[in-house]
Chains A and B, each alone.
Chain A
């Protein structure tokens, strides 16, 4: 299957700082990537849809100024959590759309904000 990587796999930061998470499709081109957030023992909640070369589309309730998404190439999308606070601590997962087969997910990034 298609492979998606994320970096870093975990990060700890202080409240008020910004954190950037990278999502790469390693063996396919992903014109569309998705960003999800997952709290403990809960399912994945879609945050935004990222299309290469255009602005991301955010789901209702997700602050676009807080979660900045950039999809600069067909293999890379980044999520920047700006002015992070403890309530932003979560497991962030990206996926790349591999044609009609569907989405393939990265391994996730555990963010802890102190």
Chain B
């Protein structure tokens, strides 16, 4: 059975304090790994798609990396507006269905 595990469950950072979020996966065949940001009461907002081990993508203060077993979302010098729940999801079949992890709730304080 495909599994996606995110850690930590919650993370509190001070503004400017860089850190990384982890997404570990056990799947039969990875077609893509997706990172989303979700604010309370809203739908997920697309951040990145990674397809193969060694791939990296960046957007502002965020950088996503992928290995054969896990993905990291690195947050450099975070700001309070980066506070949100970060979700990772894996696609394993041609039907494009996603299996989501439980998310990491990030809080960035002044």
Contact = CB atoms under 8 A, between A and B. Distances in A.
Chain A interface: which size bin? 20 to 34
Interface stretch (A13-21, A38-46, A81-89): A38-46
Nearest to B34: A102
A44 B86 CA distance: 12
Given A1-B46, A93-B43, A103 B102 contact: no
B96 A97 contact: yes
Nearest to A10: B41
B58 to A, nearest CB: 16
A58 to B, nearest CB: 12
Contact of A93 (B44, B95, B99, B102): B44
Interface string B64-82: 0000000000000000000
B32 A102 contact: yes
B42 A107 contact: yes
A10 B37 CA distance: 21
B9 to A, nearest CB: 10
A107 B43 contact: yes
Given A102-B32, A102-B34, A102-B49, A44 B44 contact: yes
Contacts of B55: none
A75 B72 CA distance: 34
A108 B96 contact: no
Interface residues of B, number: 22
Given A43-B103, A44-B100, A102 B44 contact: no
Contacts of A67: none
A108 B97 contact: no
A104 B47 CA distance: 10
A44 B87 CA distance: 9
Interface string A79-114: 000000000000101010100011111111010000
A108 B41 CA distance: 7
A39 B100 CA distance: 13
A102 B43 contact: no
B22 interface: no
B89 to A, nearest CB: 8
Given A93-B43, A105-B43, A42 B102 contact: yes
